């Protein structure tokens, strides 16, 4: 809608400076902060519909679900909407239902117009035979033809062809008005016609009735508010024009609509008023929306703002260049007059530079130390908590055993004591202990096995044949080394192995390594915790 943009910004030169009225943008900025929440909500609804589509075998139910999925995507993503609409069209042809086929073609026509494929859209719509289309869709069919010609006229902006397309659009919008039975929709059609005829007072009446009615949804509100903004601009009601654009942008975001124009126009307005930071944020969102939806003409319209930004940057650069040239002359004179001071400063600079290099190296070293301390503290906290929990459970069990044995000794039930002792499975207790160790270790270092896999000739040592174990014995020894337990005696004590067994496992590790054991231990210490 190139004419809309050009006419809107003709009023901006006399509008009050933006910096005095930033408060009018605050509601929009708050909604922008949470804009992905609305998209996520729509995506969740789409996923639910897709699950229902998979679960329902009946064609009639599938058709309705495909319509719903298309409807959700129609304002969110062109390619996805087109895909599901194509599925509908295939079903329509399979059922040889002409009304169904033409209904789907109207949806495809809407998508193609929204995506900026005007020729394809008009060809598709003209291929529909009206007498084979449900009468309830006649007004929508004519409206889409009208919109296609209007948008094409705005897009090409050609003195020869544009008036022809506008006349064609007016003819079709008249037909849409004739066949439309919904009074609110008629207001929208009449408002659009009035805009094209430049009868802005009439258009104002229609659009104000529309946006005041609570029957229209947020997306429809955004469309009508944008149109009403254009009307207000042409009636020289500048404040209302900007406010309507803000309202339209808010409604677009809350309805998770990505085929939008309001925020793009606001971006250009902010740029012209010198609020470059806000202009950049808004144009970035507009470009993001256009890219997500896949609207070609919107991307072109967004990118049309960039040359203006570049022009400003060039102008700003030239001004800065003049200032730098002036400062350079002054500096040159000062250098000639104060050479001695310059030499002193230079020497001091060299000293400071060396100090800076030293400080940088120190900071990097401190950062490495802090990282290691963080890992060590994390390991310490996790394992202290784990062992306190384990010890408290064993203390509780010992108390239970003591109470049981005392009771049995008192009653001289020595046979029960013997039976009870037989139920204590030390091997199982150790396995439980090591399995818990494996679990907590891998929760701290989830990428441990993946990180060391490349240092071994094969994966045999990385996997365990015992389903009760998470880590193989060799990997458990390496895990202990990673958390700082490197002495063979402590490893043997922790794992309940003999020293010879620990030496045997380490020898097995060495035989499978592509690097030395010392190098492996260094690599182990480089593995960071999560």
Query: Are the C-beta atoms of residues 18 and 270 closer than 8 Å to each other?
Result: yes
Query: Are the C-beta atoms of residues 40 and 47 closer than 8 Å to each other?
Result: no
Residues 43 and 292: their CA atoms lie apart, in Å, by 13
pLDDT of 358-417, one tens digit each? 778 767 776 766 665 565 566 655 655 566 566 656 666 777 777 778 787 888 777 777
Q: What is the residue-wise DSSP string for 330-393?
A: HHHHHHHHTHHHHHHHHHHHHHHHHHHHHHHHHHHHHHHHHHHHHHHHHHHHHHHHHHHHHHHH
State both tokens at 218: 């947020």
SS3 469: coil
Tell me what percent of the residues of the chain surpass a pLDDT of 90.
38
The dihedral sign for the CA sequence 194, 200, 201, 207: positive
Strand ranges in 371-527 using DSSP code E only, listed in sequence order: none
> Comparing 389 with 102, which gets the higher pLDDT?
102
Residues 44 and 47: their CA atoms lie apart, in Å, by 5
- What pLDDT was estimated at residue 369? 60
**Residue 237 φ then ψ, to 5°:** -100, 80
> Comparing 67 with 315, which gets the higher pLDDT?
67
State both tokens at 209: 């009735």
pLDDT at 249 over 90: yes
State both tokens at 207: 């659009």
Task: Return the number of other C-beta atoms located less than 10 Å from residue 74's C-beta.
Answer: 22
pLDDT of 34-59, one tens digit each? 999 999 999 999 999 999 988 887 88
Residues 206 and 200: their CA atoms lie apart, in Å, by 10
Q: Sort 39 into a burial class: Cβ within 10 Å, 0-12 / 13-18 / 19+.
A: middle
User: Which DSSP state fits 515?
Assistant: S
- What pLDDT was estimated at residue 49? 93
pLDDT of 426-441, one tens digit each? 778 888 888 888 888 8
SS3 513: strand
Query: Are the C-beta atoms of residues 450 and 485 closer than 8 Å to each other?
Result: no
Q: What integer is the mean pLDDT of 167-189?
A: 92
CA-based nearest residue to 170, from 145, 187, 188, 203:
145
SS3 456: strand
Domains of the chain: which residue ranges?
338-404, 425-526
**Residue 476 φ then ψ, to 5°:** -70, -35
Query: Are the C-beta atoms of residues 154 and 3 closer than 8 Å to each other?
Result: yes
**Residue 308 φ then ψ, to 5°:** -65, -40
Query: Are the C-beta atoms of residues 28 and 255 closer than 8 Å to each other?
Result: no
Torsion of CA 407, 409, 415, 417, to 10 degrees: 70
């Amino acid at each position: 809608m190139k004419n809309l943009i050009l006419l809107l910004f003709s009023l901006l030169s006399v509008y009050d400076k933006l910096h005095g009225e930033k408060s009018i943008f605050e509601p929009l900025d708050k909604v922008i902060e949470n804009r992905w929440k609305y998209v996520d909500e729509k995506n969740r609804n789409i996923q639910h519909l897709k699950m229902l589509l998979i679960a329902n075998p009946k064609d009639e139910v599938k058709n309705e679900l495909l319509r719903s999925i298309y409807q959700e995507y129609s304002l969110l993503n062109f390619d996805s909407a087109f895909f599901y609409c194509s599925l509908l069209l295939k079903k329509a042809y399979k059922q040889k239902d002409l009304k169904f086929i033409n209904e789907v073609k109207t949806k495809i026509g809407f998508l193609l117009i929204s995506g900026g494929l005007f020729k394809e859209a008009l060809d598709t719509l003209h291929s529909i035979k009206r007498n084979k289309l449900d009468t309830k869709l006649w007004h929508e069919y004519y409206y889409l033809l009208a919109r296609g010609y209007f948008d094409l006229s705005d897009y090409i902006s050609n003195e020869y062809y544009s008036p022809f397309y506008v006349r064609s659009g007016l003819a079709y919008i008249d037909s849409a008005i004739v066949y439309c039975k919904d009074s609110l929709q008629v207001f929208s059609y009449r408002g659009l016609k009035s805009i094209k005829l430049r009868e802005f007072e009439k258009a104002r009446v229609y659009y104000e009735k529309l946006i005041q009615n609570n029957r229209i949804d947020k997306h429809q509100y955004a469309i009508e508010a944008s149109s009403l903004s254009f009307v207000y601009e042409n009636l020289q009601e500048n404040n209302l024009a900007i406010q309507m654009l803000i309202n339209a942008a808010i409604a677009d975001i809350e309805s998770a609509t990505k085929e939008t124009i309001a925020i793009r126009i606001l971006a250009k307005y902010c740029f012209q008023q010198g609020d470059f930071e806000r202009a950049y944020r808004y144009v970035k969102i507009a470009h993001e929306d256009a890219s997500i939806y896949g609207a070609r003409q919107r991307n072109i319209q967004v990118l049309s703002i960039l040359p203006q930004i570049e022009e400003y940057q060039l102008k700003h650069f030239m001004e800065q260049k003049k200032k730098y040239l002036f400062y350079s002359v002054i500096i040159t004179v000062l250098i000639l007059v104060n050479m001695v001071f310059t030499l002193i400063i230079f020497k001091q600079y060299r000293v400071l530079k060396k100090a800076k290099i030293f400080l940088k190296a120190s900071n990097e070293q401190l950062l490495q130390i802090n990282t290691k301390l963080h890992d060590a503290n994390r390991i310490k906290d996790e394992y202290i908590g784990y062992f306190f929990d384990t010890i408290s459970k064993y203390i509780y069990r010992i108390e239970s055993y003591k109470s049981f044995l005392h009771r049995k000794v008192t009653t001289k039930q020595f046979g029960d004591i013997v039976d009870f002792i037989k139920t204590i499975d030390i091997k199982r207790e150790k396995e439980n202990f090591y399995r818990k160790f494996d679990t907590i270790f891998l929760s701290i270092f989830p990428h441990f096995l993946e990180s060391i896999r490349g240092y071994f000739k094969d994966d045999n040592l990385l996997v365990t044949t015992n389903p009760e174990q998470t880590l193989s014995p060799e990997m458990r020894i390496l895990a202990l080394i990673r958390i700082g337990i490197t002495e063979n005696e402590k490893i043997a004590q922790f794992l309940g192995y003999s020293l010879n067994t620990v030496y045997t496992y380490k020898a097995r590790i060495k035989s499978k390594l592509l690097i030395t054991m010392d190098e492996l231990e260094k690599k182990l210490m480089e593995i960071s915790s999560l």
